[in-house]
């Protein structure tokens, strides 16, 4: 029978999974307004800059709606100015009423003084009663004028309050009209389809004259009008199965290959990890960013990625065929050669199995001779003949 020794190696754990190349950013452009396509200014393969116009939708009814709302804004501004002018008039009337009140009070005070002087002269019979009566009449008339002017001031203040309320209402109506106009401006901007970022047009599904519908209507959503992708750098997306997902970390070394590149291997590192499993596939999304200045990697390419999950130096390993299990499978053992020709069952605790070698966590020191390459079982203590000492 054949024997070997455990080896101490740097054990590398990796996982190789299918991968798909995606544009670093990819966008599907749909219409937000309905109308007939007026013009198309980009086609598949065209390099575009962020904000570059791709197509224009003709929306004459929106143009008319904009003009109507623009006229409404002008009307509301005119009304607002009228009410503001009314406020100023009301304030001027208050000032006039206050001035009139001051004048009336001065006249009333003067008439009162004259009345009091004549009353004292009547007592000394220096003037006749007739003069006293006339003075009293003038006093009463002055007091009435003063009361009337004060009442006019109160009315003017009330008119000012009403005018200010009307002006505030007109201000609010003008603001609403302007906001509605701004809303229409925003909607009209959607009639121009623009590139969301620097990239390449990867899809075009419309021609001038086509009727496009508002994509907010779920029933109208179909193919996008345009597809745009950023391809000067790409994302390689890899679904990592559950058994390996917990070992993947940002910065892990990776190797990417695909049929289009032949035997070329692109080395990179993990850029981001989803940190959750897809409940449908029980896999975790991992992304690797790759530069693509020469454009050799195309969105949609299929390849494979090998991710280096772990690396353990000075790890004791044995060939996979050296591990045996007891009858109920609860214990793993290796057959260790003792005394030159006797078999000893040595329990071991195993770790990672890469298909060729198995990590031994405990049970072996590394200097033992172990039986390998045999399919049958040997009893503990059995004597054997070794052919490859």
Fold of the CATH domain 61-189: Helix Hairpins (1.10.287)
CA distances from 341 to 3, 253, 291, 381 (A): 11, 45, 60, 9
Reading the block at residue 48, the tokens are 């575009």
pTM confidence score: 0.65
Adjacency order of strands within the sheet including 47-48 = 26-29, 226-229, 199-204, 47-48
186 or 217: whose pLDDT is higher? 186
Candidates 329, 320, 326; CA nearest to 360 is 320
Please state the length of the chain: 389
- Mean pLDDT across 61-66: 88
Q: What band does 218 get if pLDDT is binned at 50, 70 and 90?
A: very low
Candidates 255, 251, 260; CA nearest to 294 is 260
**Would you say residue 209 has pLDDT above 90?**
yes
- Mean pLDDT across 32-56: 94
**Would you say residue 367 has pLDDT above 50?**
yes
- Mean pLDDT across 362-367: 84
What pLDDT score does 36 carry? 93
Same fold, 2-7+312-372 and 61-189: no
What pLDDT score does 375 carry? 60
Q: Which of 77-81, 129-133, 137-141 has the highest mean pLDDT?
A: 77-81
Q: Which residues partner with 332 through β-bridges?
A: 325, 348
Q: What band does 323 get if pLDDT is binned at 50, 70 and 90?
A: confident
**Would you say residue 389 has pLDDT above 60?**
no
Q: Domain ranges for the chain, please list them.
A: 2-7+312-372, 27-53+192-228, 61-189
How crowded is the C-beta side of 263, counted as CA atoms within 13 Å?
0
Mean pLDDT of the chain: 86
Fold of the CATH domain 27-53+192-228: OB fold (Dihydrolipoamide Acetyltransferase, E2P) (2.40.50)
Q: The CATH number of 2-7+312-372 is which of 2.40.420.20, 3.30.2310.20, 1.10.220.10, 3.10.620.30?
A: 2.40.420.20
105 or 68: whose pLDDT is higher? 68
Of the chain, the percentage scoring pLDDT greater than 70 comes to: 93
Task: Fill in the DSSP letter of residue 50.
Answer: T
């Amino acid at each position: 029978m054949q024997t070997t020794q455990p080896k101490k190696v740097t054990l590398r754990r990796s996982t190789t999974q299918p991968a798909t190349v995606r544009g670093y950013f990819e966008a599907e452009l749909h219409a937000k307004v309905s109308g007939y396509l007026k013009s198309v200014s980009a086609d598949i393969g065209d390099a575009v800059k962020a904000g570059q116009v791709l197509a224009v939708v003709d929306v004459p009814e929106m143009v008319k709606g904009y003009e109507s709302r623009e006229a409404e804004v002008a009307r509301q501004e005119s009304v607002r100015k009228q009410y503001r002018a009314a406020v100023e008039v009301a304030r001027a009337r208050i000032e006039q009423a206050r001035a009139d009140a001051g004048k009336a009070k001065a006249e009333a005070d003067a008439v009162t003084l004259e009345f009091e002087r004549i009353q004292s002269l009547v007592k000394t019979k220096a003037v006749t009663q007739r003069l006293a009566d006339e003075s009293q009449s003038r006093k009463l008339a002055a007091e009435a004028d003063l009361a009337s002017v004060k009442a006019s001031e109160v009315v003017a203040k009330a008119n000012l309050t009403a005018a200010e309320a009307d002006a505030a209402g007109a201000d609010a109506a003008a603001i609403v009209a302007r906001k509605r106009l701004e809303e229409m401006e925003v909607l009209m901007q959607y009639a121009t389809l623009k590139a969301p970022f620097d990239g390449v047009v990867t899809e075009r599904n419309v021609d001038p004259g086509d009727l496009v519908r508002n994509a907010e209507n779920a029933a109208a959503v179909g193919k996008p009008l345009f597809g745009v992708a950023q391809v000067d750098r790409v994302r390689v997306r890899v679904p990592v199965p559950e058994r390996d997902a917990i070992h993947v970390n940002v910065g892990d070394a990776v190797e990417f290959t695909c049929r289009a590149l032949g035997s070329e291997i692109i080395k990179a590192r993990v850029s981001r990890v989803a940190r959750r499993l897809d409940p449908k596939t029980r896999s975790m999304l991992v992304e690797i960013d790759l530069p693509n200045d020469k454009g050799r990697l195309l969105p949609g390419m299929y390849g494979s990625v090998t991710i280096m999950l772990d690396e353990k130096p000075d790890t004791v390993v044995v060939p996979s065929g050296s591990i045996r299990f007891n009858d109920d499978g609860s214990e793993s053992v290796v057959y260790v050669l003792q005394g030159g020709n006797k078999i000893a069952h040595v329990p071991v605790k195993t770790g990672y199995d890469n298909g060729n070698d198995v990590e031994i966590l405990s049970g072996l020191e590394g200097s033992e001779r172990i039986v390998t390459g045999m399919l049958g079982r040997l009893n503990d203590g059995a004597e054997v003949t070794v052919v490859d000492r």
